[in-house]
Amino acid sequence: MELTRRDFLKASAAAAAFAAAGAPVLAPRIAEAADDKGIKWDKAPCRYCGVGCCVLVGVKNGKIVATKGDPAGPVNKGLNCIKGYFLSKALYGKDRLTHPLIRKGNKMVKASWDEALDLIASKYKEAIAKTGPDSVAIYGSGQWTVFEGYTAVKLFKGGIGTNNVEPNARLCMASAVVAFMNTFGSDEPMGCYDDLDLGDTFILWGANMAEAHPVLFSRLIDNKLKNPKVKIIDIATRRTRTTQMADDYIPMYPQGDLAALNGIAHVILRDKLYDEAFVAKHVSFKRGTENQPYGLKDKEAAGDKPENIDFAKYKELMKPFTPEWAEKLSGIPAAKIEELAKLYTDKSRKVNTLWTMGVNQHVRGVWVNNLIYNLHLLTGKIGKKGENPLSLTGQPSACGTAREVGTFAHRLPADMVVMNEAHRKKTAEIWKIDPAKISPKVGLHTIEMYRAIDRGELKCLWIQCTNPFQSIPNLSRYRKAAEARKAFIVVSEIYPTKSTEVADVILPSACWVEKEGMYGNTERRNQQWFKMVEPPGQAKEDTWQLIEFAKRLGLGHLFPYSQKGFYKEMWEEYRSFTIGTGKDLAPYETYFKVRGLRWPVKANGQETRWRYVDFDDPYVKPGEGLKFYKAPGNKASIWYRPYEPPAESPDKEYPFWYCTGRLLEHWHTATMTGRVPELKRAMPGATLEIHPEDAARLGIKNRDKVKVSSRRGSIILTAEINGRGKPEKGNVFTTFFDETKLINDLCIDAFDPISKEPDFKKCAVKIEKA
C-alpha cells in the first residue's frame, strides 16, 4: 500500500512538473486521483517575496501536507522557486511561539492574553497621558496583510491620534514610492509582468533578479530563449547568477548610477534622440533641492522643494554631464554610455528598465528612480505593451499593504497624505470620526523612530511581522537603547528572533494560511486567501491582537465589523477609499476565485494590465492614447538631478565598499527560511564575498576567517572567493539573513533626505585576516 501511494505521489510530482514545463504527460489523471486522496487544495499567494507567485496549498487532517505552483496562476504558471520548499517549514518550525510571554527582569514568562493585552494597554495609556500620542508607535511590515495594515493605520492615525505608523518597507520601497508620486502623481507601476514576456530589451540597474526575483527572471529567460532579439544588460557592482545569463555585464562604481543615467540622458539630448512630440505632450520639467544632508544627525531637517523649469533650461543644465564626465564617476566607459543611449533610443527595440534595492537603498534613491523615468519619458518608451520601467518590490504586500493602505508616517489610503486637509477629511468621513482626530503632523520615519527610543522620546513601540533589531543599519546603537529598556517594546512574532530578544511582551501570531488575508504584489495584483489551518497553541492573528488592544483603549468602536462578515466588511470599507481614484479595487467576493486582479479593476470586473493608456485603463477615454491623468496637467515630470557623493566612501583607513543583500535560499532575516539546519549546511552562515585580487593582496584564501570593520563595528566572517557572487575590485558583499552575524552593525544609518530610506549598499570597511 505504502509503495503504491509513494509511486502515485512521485507520478503526481512528475506530472505537475511536466505540465508546468508545458509538456502534459500521458495518464496524469491517475496520478491526480491518487494525489487528491484526502488532500484539500486551496489557493494562496506565496508567503515570501514581492513577486506574488500563486500557490496551491494542500491540507490533510488539519495540517499542510503539500504545496504546488498554481497552474492557473498567471504570475508563475505552475512553478515556485526554491523558497517554495520552505512554505510549510515557515509554519512548522519546532520553536514556534505558542503563547504570550511577559518580561520579568531578565526572563520571559508565560502569560494569558488578558494579562499581556492589559499590560500593553496600560503602558500605552500611561505614555499617551504623560507625554502625548506622539510618544507611542507601531512598526509593521510589507508582509502585513491588507487587513492587518488597515487595522493598524485606523487605530493609530484615527484612534490614538498619532502618525507614528511605519512599515519595514521604508527600508526597501520608500525611494520608489516618492519617485512614483513626484513623477506620475500616483504610486505603483504603469506596466506589469506581461512586459517581461513582450519586451526585447531589459536593462537591469543593480538588480540580481536571478536570486531575488527568480520566478520573474525565469519569465525573462523563457522570453530570451524563444526570441533571439532579446537582450539583457546587467549594470552592477557585482557579478551574480543574473550576470551569467546577461548579454552584457557592465561593472559600475557604487553611486555611479547617478552619473551614468545622467550621461545617457546627455547623449540623448546632445544627439536629439528624444521623442520631441511625446515630450511636448506628456512631460514637464523640474529641479529639486540639492546638497541636502544624509540624515546622520538626529532630527536633521531635509526635504525637496521643486522648482519648475522648461526643456531649454533642462538641456542647458544637462550639458556638463558628458559621457566622459559619467565615466569618471561611474567607471562605465564613455563609449558604453553612448552605446546605452543608443539602446535606450533604438526605435526597433522595446526597452524595459528593471531595478530594486540597488537603486532604492541609496542616499539619493529618489533621484536614481527619477533619472530612470527621465530616460523613458525622453524617449516615449513608456505606457506601451512590452515597454516600460518596472520597479521591483521585495515583500509580498509592500504594494498592497504598506503603499496602498498607507502604513507610512505620512500616508493615508489610496495615495493620500496626512499633511493634506482634504485627505484627512475624506479619511475621517469613511472612518466616521472627527477629522481633528487625524494629526496633520508627519510621524516618525523608521530611523527616527529607533533614534527616538534612544533619546528617550518614544515610550512604547509595537512591532509586528518584522525583525528590525536584526535589519536596521547602525544596529548596535538601537539594540543598546532597547536593551537599556528605554522604551516598552511589544513584538508579535511566530518565532524567537533578534527582536523578541529585546521585547517586554512577545505575542504569538498566526502566519499565512493560519488566517484569512489579502496581499498585493509588484504588478498591482491583489490576491485573497482563506484560512486553511489553525494556528498553533494560543497564537492569534495580528488584527485580533490590535483590535483587542483597541478595546482596552476605549477605541473598539473603530472596528464595528461582525464576526461572520469581518474581512468582507473591513475590505469594503477600505475599498471605498479607492473608488474613482484610478486605484479601484473589486468587491471582496470577486477575489475568491481569481488568481488575483490588477487594479484599477473596471466596472465590468476586468483587471487593468497597463495604466494611463486608452487601450486598457478605464480612466483614459478611447482616442486619448496615453494620459498621465494623475499628474498635474496630465504631465509626468522629468527631474534635473545631478551627481552627489555617498554619505561615506572608502579612504586609507577603511578602503573597501561594503554592500549587503540577500540570496536565493534565504529571505530577509531568515525568521522563516532559517528554521532549517540542513539548509545551513548547503549554504552556511553569511560569508564575505571578495575579489580574488583583493584577497591575494591581503593574503586571504578562500574560507579564511576575516575581520570586517567599519567605523561602527566589527564582525568575523568567512571569506568567499569566486563563489556564486563576485564583487568588483574594491568591493565586498555580504548577506543579512544570518542572525548569528549581525552584519548591519557595520552599516551606516545615512538615508535619502526625501524618502528617508537608508543606504544598505554603501559604506566603508577594512578587511583583516582574523
Partner 1 sequence: MPVSGVVIRCQPGSEVQIAEQAGQLEGVEVHGVLPDGQVIAVIEAVSVNAEADLATKLQQLEGAISIQVAYHNFEDVAHEGGADGTDKA
Catalytic residues: 83, 172-173, 357, 394-395
Residue number, 13 or 417, with CB nearest to partner 1 = 13
Question: Segment near partner 1 (CB under 8 A), from 67-75, 186-194, 523-531, 545-553?
Answer: 67-75
Binding residue for partner 1 (CB under 8 A) from 49, 51, 54, 81? 81
CB of 468 to partner 1, least distance (A): 19
Residue number, 79 or 269, with CB nearest to partner 1 = 79
For residue 501, what are the CA distances in angstroms to 121, 127, 703?
21, 23, 30
Binding residue for partner 1 (CB under 8 A) from 65, 121, 343, 698? 65
Residue number, 97 or 613, with CB nearest to partner 1 = 97
Residue number, 50 or 142, with CB nearest to partner 1 = 50
Question: Segment near partner 1 (CB under 8 A), from 88-96, 141-149, 289-297, 582-590?
Answer: 88-96
Strands 283-287 and 307-309: what pairing?
antiparallel
Contact 238, 728 (CB under 8 A): yes
Residue 82, interface with partner 1 (CB under 8 A)? yes
Measured CA to CA, the distance from residue 601 to residue 579 in angstroms comes to 9
Residue 34, interface with partner 1 (CB under 8 A)? no
Cell numbers found for residue 69: 505552483
Residue 249, interface with partner 1 (CB under 8 A)? no
Binding residue for partner 1 (CB under 8 A) from 45, 67, 427, 720? 67
The conformational region for residue 527 under phi > 0 = left, psi -120 to 50 = alpha, else beta, is beta
For residue 288, what are the CA distances in angstroms to 291, 303, 372, 464, 596?
10, 9, 16, 35, 38
Measured CA to CA, the distance from residue 196 to residue 208 in angstroms comes to 15
Residue number, 99 or 711, with CB nearest to partner 1 = 99
Residue number, 228 or 303, with CB nearest to partner 1 = 228
Which residues in 577-616 contact partner 1 (CB under 8 A)? Answer: none
Binding residue for partner 1 (CB under 8 A) from 30, 33, 109, 280? 109
Question: Segment near partner 1 (CB under 8 A), from 61-69, 313-321, 456-464, 475-483?
Answer: 61-69
Residue number, 67 or 439, with CB nearest to partner 1 = 67
> For residue 708, which of 649, 658, 761, 674 has the smallest C-alpha distance?
658
Which residues in 672-731 contact partner 1 (CB under 8 A)? Answer: 676-679, 681-683, 724
Measured CA to CA, the distance from residue 389 to residue 189 in angstroms comes to 8
Estimate the crossing angle of helix 256-270 against helix 334-345, to 10 degrees: 60
CB of 525 to partner 1, least distance (A): 19
SS3 767: strand
CB of 217 to partner 1, least distance (A): 7
CB of 218 to partner 1, least distance (A): 5
User: How many residues at the interface with partner 1, by CB under 8 A?
Assistant: 77
Which residues in 473-502 contact partner 1 (CB under 8 A)? Answer: 496, 500
Residue number, 64 or 172, with CB nearest to partner 1 = 64
Contact 387, 351 (CB under 8 A): yes
Q: CB-hemisphere CA count at 13 Å for 500?
A: 22
Binding residue for partner 1 (CB under 8 A) from 73, 149, 167, 214? 214
Binding residue for partner 1 (CB under 8 A) from 74, 121, 181, 218? 218
Residue number, 96 or 459, with CB nearest to partner 1 = 96
Measured CA to CA, the distance from residue 423 to residue 413 in angstroms comes to 9
CB of 489 to partner 1, least distance (A): 16
Beta-carbon contacts of residue 520 (< 8 Å; ≥ 6 apart): 52, 146, 397, 399, 400, 401, 404, 526, 527
Contact 169, 142 (CB under 8 A): yes
Site string for partner 1, 227-246 (x = CB under 8 A): -----------------xx-
Residue number, 166 or 665, with CB nearest to partner 1 = 665
Binding residue for partner 1 (CB under 8 A) from 47, 75, 86, 687? 86
Question: Segment near partner 1 (CB under 8 A), from 87-95, 312-320, 417-425, 614-622?
Answer: 87-95
Measured CA to CA, the distance from residue 760 to residue 748 in angstroms comes to 7
Question: Segment near partner 1 (CB under 8 A), from 13-21, 316-324, 343-351, 363-371?
Answer: 13-21
Residue 296, interface with partner 1 (CB under 8 A)? no
Q: Which residues of 55-91 are buried (b: 16+ CB within 10 A; e: fewer)?
A: bbbbbeeeebebbbbbeebbbbbbbbbebbebbbebb
CB of 700 to partner 1, least distance (A): 23
Question: Segment near partner 1 (CB under 8 A), from 208-216, 323-331, 481-489, 755-763?
Answer: 208-216
Residue 651, interface with partner 1 (CB under 8 A)? no
Measured CA to CA, the distance from residue 316 to residue 266 in angstroms comes to 10
Binding residue for partner 1 (CB under 8 A) from 99, 342, 437, 551? 99
CB of 211 to partner 1, least distance (A): 10
Question: Segment near partner 1 (CB under 8 A), from 58-66, 184-192, 284-292, 728-736?
Answer: 58-66
Question: Segment near partner 1 (CB under 8 A), from 21-29, 167-175, 405-413, 516-524?
Answer: 21-29
Q: What is the dihedral of CA 318, 324, 329, 330, to 10 degrees?
A: 100
Residue 110, interface with partner 1 (CB under 8 A)? yes
Beta-carbon contacts of residue 299 (< 8 Å; ≥ 6 apart): 448, 451
Binding residue for partner 1 (CB under 8 A) from 52, 84, 133, 323? 84
Residue 419, interface with partner 1 (CB under 8 A)? no
Residue number, 404 or 665, with CB nearest to partner 1 = 665
Residue 63, interface with partner 1 (CB under 8 A)? yes
Contact 558, 431 (CB under 8 A): yes
Strands 731-735 and 656-661: what pairing?
parallel
CB of 87 to partner 1, least distance (A): 8
Cell numbers found for residue 505: 511582551
Residue number, 20 or 558, with CB nearest to partner 1 = 20
Classify residue 13 as exposed, middle or buried by CB count within 10 Å of its CB (0-12, 13-18, 19+). Answer: middle
For residue 66, what are the CA distances in angstroms to 3, 69, 83, 519?
18, 11, 14, 21
Residue 98, interface with partner 1 (CB under 8 A)? yes
Site string for partner 1, 498-537 (x = CB under 8 A): --x-----x-----------------------------xx
CB of 69 to partner 1, least distance (A): 5
Q: Which residues of 456-488 are buried (b: 16+ CB within 10 A; e: fewer)?
A: ebbbbbbbbbbbbbbbbbbbebbbebbeeebbb
Measured CA to CA, the distance from residue 438 to residue 450 in angstroms comes to 23
Residue 17, interface with partner 1 (CB under 8 A)? yes
Contact 538, 98 (CB under 8 A): yes
Residue number, 69 or 189, with CB nearest to partner 1 = 69
Residue 664, interface with partner 1 (CB under 8 A)? yes
| Phi–psi pair at 79, nearest 5 degrees | -130, 135
Measured CA to CA, the distance from residue 357 to residue 731 in angstroms comes to 17
CB of 702 to partner 1, least distance (A): 16
Single-letter amino acid, residue 463: I
